[in-house]
Amino acid sequence: MQEKLKIALIQSDLVWENPKENRMHFTEKINSISQEVDLIILPEMFTTGFTMHASNLAETMEGESVKWMLEMAKKSNAAIVGSLIITEDNKYYNRLLFVHPEGEIELYDKRHTFTLAGEDKVYQAGNKKIIVAYKGWKICPLVCYDLRFPVWARNTEDYDLLLYVANWPKPRITAWDALLKARAIENMTYCVGVNRVGLDINNYEYSGSSAVYDVLGKKISNIALGKEQTEIVTLDKNHLKKYRERLQFLGDKDAFNLIA
């Protein structure tokens, strides 16, 4: 078990619908990390951008992008997390993969598909929240639009880190900032959001605003707005213990069962 977890947030532009180019791009980004880290976080749909052309771009769990994630996790001796388009049983998923350096893969299918963009008509929504056990930390990984639904993210599992990978557009970035901070405060957890930058083929602009918040809602990262940047942040479990024991807010949370 580690008291501290060192994470690398890769805020990057994406090449539209070009998995090979994006894998090459992120290979360079990961190889340029000059210090040992425990976890590397990539944006949502990091191989394609947020596209609805799943039939042309979907890969299997045995495909090149999954092989690449396994290879890079092993090479960097760090877990890698990000989402991509996966096909399975004749359905398409916006699937987040948490790839351990030893080769284990844990997966989460995006629960809240983005109806405004028609994602619900293309991708099958997931129905299972996962908690990843990694180096003594309990991590809850979610995807983009999930951020708007606090019940789904509620910390009923006593997790230590809540993370979101995203393609969240610039016109609504104020909501992204506010909701990441709120999720950290209400769940008394570290909350991390990694968003893309750049302009996609549909002329949607992404400004990043990737960030890390502590249990009190204080931003502890310093990533430049609108620019490609990799930032390394160290999370400390003693910070969690200190304020959870002192404030006891999680002990007063409402009990509920989610029926869906």
Catalytic residues: 44, 110, 144
CA within 13 Å, CB half, 71: 12
Tell me how far CA of residue 255 lies from CA of 127, 129, 260, in angstroms.
20, 17, 16
Which DSSP letter does residue 35 get? S
**Helices 64-76 and 19-31: angle between axes, nearest 10 degrees:** 0
CA–CA dist 118, 52 (Å, integer): 8
- Can you say whether the dihedral through the CA atoms of 71, 130, 235, 227 is positive or negative? positive
**Residue type at 70 in one-letter notation:** L
Structure tokens at 69: 């994630």
